[in-house]
Amino acid sequence: MIEAVLLTAILWFGILSLRAAERVRWLLTAFELAIFALAAAVILRRRLAIRPHPIAILLGGAALWALLQVWLGISVDPQRTLQAALGWTVNCAAFSVTLAVCVRDEIRRKFLTAQVLFALAVSVEYVISHYTASTLGPFVYKNQFAAYIESVIGIAIANAIRDARRRLAWILVAATMFASVVAAGSRAGSILCLALLVALPVTACLRGWISVPSLARIATLAIAGGAVLVLVTGWETTWERLQEPNPYSLRADLLRSSLAMTRDRPLAGFGLGAWSSAYPGYARFDDGTFVNQAHNDWAQWAAEGGIPFLLLMLGVVALLARPALASLWGLGLMAVFIHAWIDYPFEQRPALAAFLFAVAGALAVETTASPSARHPDEFSRA
């Protein structure tokens, strides 16, 4: 249990230091060292009896591919590629540690519940800061904030489905997080969170985990709670952004540039982390603005790592798909991978990426049994 507590504290430190880490590099270094130290402690405590998970092997392969790109002279920016190698090593460690410490159902449920409650606090803090300082709290970018919420909102919805006694409380938690994403002005995040609010209860009903009357109650509470909270926190920013003409025209140009980069180096790529260094040679226009990311993680992975690296990441998603469907709450993490088609939740913020892969670790250890099979008492009143 102490390992789960330490892991939670490290992940929370990483999230809270996202904004400050831009200016104070040692905060990120401290986060990375803490992840590695905990990973070493977990390995030693288990007397090296650790069986690598296929996803951990793929994530480790991502780090090795970055090192290979530097060694072979493939990367156009070796320094950034070395940083990417470190980031993927941290992702692998975060995934593996969570996988190891969350094997027991009770510990995993407590770990996931803690992440939801912390995300709720971050959401409330965002709404307050939105009206006082116009910031996103620890988050620098609204869509990365939205991706963070997407990864955990499914847990709150699944808890509402599972626990009839605390259903209202969990629905309000999910509705609050949804409202904060709308207030942040993330179009894709708002759509994905709303889709999760609707799709998870419907799927649970179709599987027979809850009755039709329970579905009606959940839907009514979710819609009413979400609508009220959106009115309270504000919806104007998202609405105005939805009215923009050709809102994804810039992303479309960046996508075309990324595809051109992939066509030129389909196998080797330009080096993980080196997209911004290679992009100027493929830019379709130049207005003097520095473009730091492709605004499409999948296209950027293909451009930086080549088709082999893209297939590696598809493998990660494929291995997570079954437990995501089985657990329902894991569909929130799948939503982040969907969001990555039009933005960059896995790039630029190493601590956020590590958090997302830690959630993936908790998801990967889920059994294929239905929640009712694992916790029959929690469905007795559904």
The pLDDT confidence band at residue 259, using thresholds 50, 70 and 90, is: very high
Top-confidence residue, 14 or 290: 14
310-334 pLDDT per residue, tens: 999 999 999 999 999 999 999 999 9
Class of residue 259 by CB neighbours under 10 A (exposed 0-12, middle 13-18, buried 19+):
middle
The pLDDT confidence band at residue 44, using thresholds 50, 70 and 90, is: confident
Three-state secondary structure string covering the chain:
CHHHHHHHHHHHHHHHCCCHHHCCHHHHHHHHHHHHHHHHHHHHHCCCCCCCCHHHHHHHHHHHHHHHHHHCCCCCCHHHHHHHHHHHHHHHHHHHHHHHHCCCHHHHHHHHHHHHHHHHHHHHHHHHHHHHCCCECCECCHHHHHHHHHHHHHHHHHHHHHCCCCHHHHHHHHHHHHHHHHHHCCHHHHHHHHHHHHHHHHHHHHCCCCCHHHHHHHHHHHHHHHHHHHHHHCCHHHHHHHCCCCCCHHHHHHHHHHHHHHHHCCCCCCCCCCHHHHHHHHCCCCCCCCCCCCCCHHHHHHHHHHHHHHHHHHHHHHHHHHHHHHHCCCHHHHHHHHHCCCCCCCCCCHHHHHHHHHHHHHHHCCCCCCHHHHCHHHHCCC
Interval 269-275 mean pLDDT? 94
Here the tokens at position 28 are 């990120």
Q: Considering the chain, what percentage of its residues have pLDDT values greater than 90?
A: 59
Q: For the chain, what is the radius of gyration of the CA atoms?
A: 21
Q: How many Å apart are CA 114 and CA 202, to the nearest integer?
A: 25
Interval 273-277 mean pLDDT? 92
66-77 pLDDT per residue, tens: 999 999 999 999
Top-confidence residue, 24 or 154: 154
> Quick check: 297 pLDDT over 60?
yes
Query: What pLDDT score was predicted for residue 319?
Result: 96
Top-confidence residue, 355 or 238: 355
Of 140-144, 295-299, 315-319, the poorest mean pLDDT is in 140-144
Query: What pLDDT score was predicted for residue 233?
Result: 65
| 284 phi and psi angles, rounded to 5 deg | -90, -10
Top-confidence residue, 341 or 135: 341
> Quick check: 34 pLDDT over 70?
yes
> Quick check: 302 pLDDT over 50?
yes
The pLDDT confidence band at residue 91, using thresholds 50, 70 and 90, is: very high
Query: What pLDDT score was predicted for residue 15?
Result: 94
340-379 pLDDT per residue, tens: 998 999 998 999 999 999 999 999 998 533 444 344 334 4
120-129 pLDDT per residue, tens: 999 888 777 7
Here the tokens at position 32 are 């990375």
Here the tokens at position 105 are 């159902």
